[in-house]
Structure 1
């Protein structure tokens, strides 16, 4: 049922209830000036947002004049006004900032409530106690706004890393709510959500590629700035809808998960079965365009429906701090649905850290692909499309938060990186994506190991494997077992570590290997993980062999993982007494270094100077050391 509000009555949506006369609203006037927006334009934007909520609003410039004079409209109009200003200003605007609601306790990112890490300041938005989808996005927006504000950034960058208890996977609490009332409102909401998901996937692809190529020092600033605007704007729009989330649809195990509403992007109906909604691989399981963007069709296999989960397979590990480009096409496997890909990183130190999460939620048989016929946006198919596409949007935001965490760790800001990892963990839980939750735990384990917290890293690695226990994808298991092997090696459990590596080898051998970023967990990545495990066990010849194999399989253009692998190999062969080989790999590291802006690379350069200085009079060392000193002066 569509509700109508009369915009001509003092701007309060009809009726006198809820109106409060106050002093002139200078805050709203300043925001209108910032947005370059007239009163009539604001009124039209609010009316349009009201349509998405099933409200027939008829505001005009006289209503805006009343708001500027101090009158406050009734809810939910202040939220709609804030959402309209958010769109026009390109940043998050709240009703409080617009002077349309009383200021409450700050939704600051420093609160530890609901954090899986149990840390104040280390994961406020993580999934343990997170509420609606828009709340997770709002926390991400608040955190990135603080990260991009010169007044608050210094404190965030200095925040310490604090290990703490971690919450095991559990699905988000059900928060059912109706879709907007009219068919037109539903269609508009779904199309908006589908378009936003497409944009997010492209951004994940771009930023992950930049991180692989150039490291995290500069790219993290760009990603934080983008999220500060986009996540805030989208969260504000979410709060403008019923229930405070984009739309609502069936979630995993029949639960209602907030979010959704986008129609399927070209679902394919098979003989006797229906391809479920969502953006994924085409009918032939083809990957998306551009080596990682999803194609606009969902593919179904052997009597099962393909759900909404783009991101099949695993990312290229690089073993080096989470660089990997997420896959963007979900391919249905024989008798199952392709879930998300995995991220990068199996290393422990030298900035070799966590991974890029998958490019979409995993769709399980029986949870996605509900509908009839061609999976149209109406009827039963519409409900499934709503929930699946909303979970995809949440998963993409979790990806970007995860990638930002990896970049932030690579820049050396470890407490802030922990916060972003926790936010990603919470969004993964809200999306109902158990796989991504495991991927994030794996990245957190890598980060903890790098910082000299082996016991915490071991707990996280074991929990990551346990979280994905029910997953039959061999590549997923190989990816998680590789990190648990490194954690067990640091704990002195040699037999268990080698057993995990052997199991990962076996799983990877039978895992489908598809070209393209994030489509598979590559041999180069597993070899790097193997090297880290052997180094932790003190087995330097085996580690050197594994690093050589990893370099041979490393794709060109991945400057950061290539540089750091050369650096680690140089250190390893120097331990074995091979000075000439060490210099060869140090020179290869220095060749790649100018393109990489990474705290891990700077630390590797410092170790080069430390290790080669005692040999400064040896002929083959002289040019290498001179080049390293020249770079050190420039950094």
Structure 2
């Protein structure tokens, strides 16, 4: 049977200046970014142009590749792709955030649609922010036109804030995946109805609380390996923060987006710009929030300007010394986390001895409530020790990591397990390394 050529896809491919062979090569590279090995070639792309429908995950990879080339999100309809593997969520920042959150949490709680979440990969094109986010002051109507919640509404806001602390603590103890559905349910059944209710509608405190809960759900999605879904939640959280005139939560959200991109190996100018915007929006926030954003800016600047990175790190440490906010994920910045960022920055600057010392201090300062962070810090310390030839010290940290690994359900931890297996392969004749490789193999597949 003859097929109708996909003219829309052909025009897009021509617009970005790629031949079928070049597009196939870029798709293979993109697939590798997401841990996949796919055998796209010129003939594969040509079949799609001739009208054959790409099979998952090809549609998502095609859209991301074209989006990166175009510098903006490309929709499935624009590319002539009638079947895509993800839940239909508007990728634009400008999409109504409450409606978008309802769509996503509904899919999280529906077994028939849940499997469709997270099948799209991370999108660099989605990092581009609209003017209402990038302006130096968060725009909005005059304060008199932004009523706060009524008495009953404030009670609902108080519940939302209390649940933020509980969900954050649970994710730190168990990882994001086991807690994600519970938070999605709370948002769907409690937070979203609250935002629609007259008691909370347009309330700044309700919107801020919703922004923080949504940001936590984004973190849990990222920790579950659902990176594109996490990006959707981050966008929603940022929009809620803008509508709430909450520059501190907006700064934290933008910083989190930059951190997420960096953890996936992206440190482009767009990611650096996110960090810069986070610092800008944090300028009037408490010192803890300012320190939090400056520390991540230092990490990204380390790829471009070592002196600027060290200056930002020094500012972060100075601000942290002045911080005295109450405990909480949006009010405090633990010294252990700041030391971890110092370790990351120094590692990028090739000061691995300094990075080891910073990570050791971070690990020493981790509290029992920072279980997940401590496990990930051990893995990073092991990798840094090995990079400077400290095999025995690395093996000690890897052993502690493997002992704690089964207590977490975290994609970040799984990535470190994958790194362990790759890094210790050359040392498999070493008795302890061989034992650790065997233990790691029981916990997860070989890389």
Same-fold call, TM cutoff 0.5: yes
Deviation at 1:538?
2.0
Output the CA distance in 1 between the equivalents of 2:367 and 2:162.
21
Q: Is the contact between residue 89 and residue 103 of structure 2 (CA under 8 Å) also seen in structure 1?
A: no
Trace 1:362-377 onto structure 2 (pairs within 5 A): none
Is 1:226–2:174 an aligned residue pair?
no
Is 1:159–2:120 an aligned residue pair?
yes
In structure 2, relative to structure 1, the CA distance for the partners of 1:628 and 1:125 (3 Å cut) is: closer
Deviation at 1:172?
2.7
Secondary structure of the equivalent of 1:461? helix
Deviation string, structure 1 residues 294-325 (Cα, Å, up to 9, x no partner): xxxxxxxxxxxxxxxxxxxxxxxxxxxxxxxx
In structure 2, relative to structure 1, the CA distance for the partners of 1:207 and 1:119 (3 Å cut) is: farther
Q: 2:172 aligns with which of 212, 217, 228?
A: 212
Is 1:537–2:349 an aligned residue pair?
yes
Deviation string, structure 1 residues 83-133 (Cα, Å, up to 9, x no partner): xxxxxxxxxxxxxxxxxxxxxxxxxxxxxxxxxx9647898598x657xxx
Trace 1:53-64 onto structure 2 (pairs within 5 A): none
Residue 335 of structure 2 corresponds to which residue in structure 1?
Answer: 523
Q: Is the contact between residue 336 and residue 361 of structure 2 (CA under 8 Å) also seen in structure 1?
A: yes
Deviation string, structure 1 residues 303-360 (Cα, Å, up to 9, x no partner): xxxxxxxxxxxxxxxxxxxxxxxxxxxxxxxxxxxxxxxxxxxxxxxxxxxxxxxxxx
**TM-score, normalised on structure 1?**
0.52
Q: Is the contact between residue 540 and residue 572 of structure 1 (CA under 8 Å) also seen in structure 2?
A: yes
Q: 2:386 aligns with which of 545, 550, 574?
A: 574
Deviation at 1:514?
5.6
Q: Is the contact between residue 89 and residue 104 of structure 2 (CA under 8 Å) also seen in structure 1?
A: no
In structure 2, relative to structure 1, the CA distance for the partners of 1:520 and 1:405 (3 Å cut) is: same
Output the CA distance in 2 between the equivalents of 1:515 and 1:394.
21
Deviation at 1:561?
0.7
Deviation at 1:173?
4.2
Output the CA distance in 1 between the equivalents of 2:123 and 2:377.
28
Deviation at 1:621?
2.0
Output the CA distance in 2 between the equivalents of 1:474 and 1:557.
22
Larger Rg over CA atoms: 1
Is 1:629–2:408 an aligned residue pair?
no
Residue 597 of structure 1 corresponds to which residue in structure 2?
Answer: 409
Residue 555 of structure 1 corresponds to which residue in structure 2?
Answer: 367
Residue 276 of structure 2 corresponds to which residue in structure 1?
Answer: 462
Q: Is the contact between residue 289 and residue 332 of structure 2 (CA under 8 Å) also seen in structure 1?
A: no
Deviation string, structure 1 residues 414-433 (Cα, Å, up to 9, x no partner): 11100000000011111110
Is 1:171–2:148 an aligned residue pair?
no
Residue 85 of structure 2 corresponds to which residue in structure 1?
Answer: none
Trace 1:177-576 onto structure 2 (pairs within 5 A): 190-236=150-196, 238=197, 241=198, 246=199, 259=202, 390-455=203-268, 456-471=270-285, 473-490=286-303, 492-512=304-324, 519-576=331-388
Output the CA distance in 2 between the equivalents of 1:221 and 1:426.
22
Deviation at 1:413?
0.9
Output the CA distance in 1 between the equivalents of 2:74 and 2:179.
27
Deviation at 1:175?
10
Runs of 4+ off more than 4 Å: 117-126, 173-179, 513-519
By percentage of residues, which structure has more helix? 2
Residue 22 of structure 1 corresponds to which residue in structure 2?
Answer: none
Deviation at 1:163?
2.4
Output the CA distance in 2 between the equivalents of 1:462 and 1:477.
11
Deviation string, structure 1 residues 258-296 (Cα, Å, up to 9, x no partner): 63xxxxxxxxxxxxxxxxxxxxxxxxxxxxxxxxxxxxx
Deviation string, structure 1 residues 170-212 (Cα, Å, up to 9, x no partner): 3234698799xxxxxx9xx823202211211121011100111
Output the CA distance in 1 between the equivalents of 2:325 and 2:284.
21
Residue 397 of structure 2 corresponds to which residue in structure 1?
Answer: 585
Q: Is the contact between residue 141 and residue 231 of structure 1 (CA under 8 Å) also seen in structure 2?
A: no
**TM-score, normalised on structure 2?**
0.73
Output the CA distance in 2 between the equivalents of 1:597 and 1:178.
41
Deviation at 1:598?
0.4
Structure 1 unaligned segments of length 5 or more: list them.
1-116, 180-185, 248-257, 260-389
Output the CA distance in 2 between the equivalents of 1:447 and 1:120.
22
Output the CA distance in 1 between the equivalents of 2:410 and 2:290.
29
In structure 2, relative to structure 1, the CA distance for the partners of 1:446 and 1:578 (3 Å cut) is: same
Trace 1:62-73 onto structure 2 (pairs within 5 A): none
Output the CA distance in 2 between the equivalents of 1:464 and 1:193.
30
Residue 355 of structure 1 corresponds to which residue in structure 2?
Answer: none
| Aligned-pair Cα RMSD in Å | 2.8
Output the CA distance in 1 between the equivalents of 2:364 and 2:143.
50
In structure 2, relative to structure 1, the CA distance for the partners of 1:462 and 1:177 (3 Å cut) is: closer
Secondary structure of the equivalent of 1:484? helix
More contact order relative to length (CA 8 Å, sep ≥ 6):
1
Residue 72 of structure 1 corresponds to which residue in structure 2?
Answer: none
Deviation string, structure 1 residues 356-408 (Cα, Å, up to 9, x no partner): xxxxxxxxxxxxxxxxxxxxxxxxxxxxxxxxxx3111111111100000110
Secondary structure of the equivalent of 2:115? helix
Output the CA distance in 2 between the equivalents of 1:596 and 1:396.
27
Output the CA distance in 1 between the equivalents of 2:340 and 2:398.
18
Deviation at 1:457?
1.3
In structure 2, relative to structure 1, the CA distance for the partners of 1:140 and 1:178 (3 Å cut) is: closer
Deviation at 1:612?
1.4
Deviation at 1:607?
1.2
In structure 2, relative to structure 1, the CA distance for the partners of 1:174 and 1:152 (3 Å cut) is: farther
In structure 2, relative to structure 1, the CA distance for the partners of 1:401 and 1:519 (3 Å cut) is: closer
